[in-house]
Chains A and B, each alone.
Chain A
Amino acid sequence: MNRSPVRSELDLLRQRRLELGLTANPPPLLSLQRLILPSAALGIVLVGIVVSLHALALKREAALQRQLGRWQPMELEMNQLKARLKRTDERAKTLESTTAGIAARLVSIRSGSAFLEQLRRSTPEAVRLQSVEVQPAQVRLKGVAQSLGSIKGLREINALMLNFEALPGVPEAGASLRLAKAEQERLLSFNLDVQIDPAVKTTTDQLVDLGAIGLARRLLLLRQLGFSL
């Protein structure tokens, strides 16, 4: 039995409760108020917090709405400006691409004098060209090669092909002999196709070297103006 000071009040159940392993005294009665009030107070505080937060959110929303109302004309103006800027950008890009195309075409046109000079340099003395057909990616040559024998004529044609293939604008094995036929004694006619790589641009130094001074100046001027050629 637990030791406890004698109380002034009597409870004949106290010993029985101790026998059953319970506390000597029953728990105090909690009134409705004591049961509910703490929870109610907590609930009211929570509701108050939620209501306050809601009020703050409403106030903030109203402020943002006012701010939005002030900014709406600016937004319209900004959208209009964006649209105009976009149109201007597109137009500028179109102009740039057009200009670039024009500039590219300006410098892409092969100089006739430079071509002829290059052709002259590449052609051996024993070879005489009869016709030259220039296409965007190909040059077709017809000519005759003087030869003391058929072998000598073929050597000259081969030298011509090697000279062409040594040029920077002609890819490797870009020269192909289509026809070689003995015409007369000591003459061997031939048809030759030379492939041209359009991606390979002629440098200003090469142009100057080939005597195309005007085209070289034009290329320099366009590069100084900012065109990437």
Chain B
Amino acid sequence: MFDTNLLDTLKNPVMSLLIATFLTANPQLQILWFGLRRFITVRRVIALVSPHRLVCCWQEGTSWRWRSGRWPPECVHKGVPLQREAIAGLLADLLLDCNLVGVQLELVLPPEGVHWCVLEGLDPQQFNEADLSAADWLKLGWPLEASNRYISLCRCADQALVVGLPRSTLQAWIDVVELADLPLRRIDWVVTSAFRGLMLNPGLCSGDLAWVFPDETGTRLVLFRGGVPELDCFINVDEMALLSLELRRRVAAWQTHVGGSLPLAWCLSLPHESIQQLQGLIDPDRQESVVGTAMSWSPISLLPDCEEDELSPLERLALLGMREDIYT
């Protein structure tokens, strides 16, 4: 449940204009006014971090709005915030520009720097992090040491999905939000949130799915069967033709490895031009299809005239997966 802005609750636009004019004329009252609004208003704001920019998304009334701000170069590298103060400043300024107060921040981390795996054979209803021994982690080939990681479990079909990241990375992002003087409510990962958004399509839970999305320096391919991720691989190829060949090769290898002949759906969460160039990848003769290109839901940009301000397919999927407040 979200609160609308106190100014917005004053349905009369004339009254809102009068208040804004009055506050402009009396800047000493602005602090009091913002304090009052911060005290009364509570608002969920999703901050989606990508390697190049920050996207903030929030609900206003029945619609969702978003706005982005671009990082300075080399601000975020491999999922780690390198210039914390600059990032915190951008985050705080962006929220202030959007006239957002009483913010409860939910941070969505970029694809890089976070690890995930599926635990097979464990009942996700009864299992938690403490049930795994060090040997189990070694068998999983988990790259993070037990003493230097934060993990979280979530249900994925009938399996348990483990997501983890180094303590230092999480602490760095916590520091960023603290520097911005904002309350941090939740941290999610763009891949899992976008995956949740993707799985809102009911047809994808049963067949095979090849999900392609951009990484900081390349392309990621995640292959699903029955709604469970089975393979996550990184492809560092710049040329689209080569990328298409590599994707096809890896999908074929995976299908050979897992067996079965379920129809494959492609979800290309890539820029529009890249999708156009990868159209030859889809083979209708093998009953392959494309999903996730036409999404019915999309938040409204606060600056609709700005051409650069456009959500990428991955960001849109991630925001779709983050819409629901899990702590209601």
Contact = CB atoms under 8 A, between A and B. Distances in A.
Given A26-B327, A32-B42, A11 B130 contact: no
B327 A28 contact: yes
B327 A32 contact: no
A225 interface: no
Interface string A4-28: 1111111111111000000001111
A1 interface: yes
Nearest to B173: A12
A3 interface: yes
A131 interface: no
B152 A1 contact: no
A135 interface: no
A36 to B, nearest CB: 8
B185 A8 contact: no
B170 interface: yes
Contacts of B3: 29, 31-33
Contacts of B254: none
A109 interface: no
Given A12-B152, A13-B187, A6 B327 contact: no
B104 A32 contact: no
B187 A12 contact: yes
Contacts of B187: 11-13
B189 A29 contact: no
A105 B127 CA distance: 122
Contacts of B44: 29
A20 to B, nearest CB: 11
B128 A29 contact: no
A30 interface: yes
A4 B327 CA distance: 15
Contacts of B184: 13
B152 A3 contact: no
B68 interface: no
Contacts of A15: 129, 150-152
A5 B150 CA distance: 18
Nearest to B326: A9
Contacts of A10: 152, 154, 161, 163, 188-189, 192-193
A12 B150 contact: yes
Contacts of B124: 5-6
A18 to B, nearest CB: 10
B11 to A, nearest CB: 14
Given A1-B130, A16-B150, A11 B1 contact: no
A29 B327 contact: yes
B42 A7 contact: no
B125 A5 contact: yes
Interface of B: 1-4, 6, 9, 40-42, 44, 104, 109, 124-130, 150-155, 160-161, 163-165, 170, 174, 184-189, 192-193, 196, 324-328
15 contacts: A6-B125, A6-B154, A7-B154, A7-B326, A10-B154, A10-B188, A15-B152, A26-B185, A28-B328, A29-B1, A29-B104, A31-B2, A32-B4, A32-B9, A34-B1
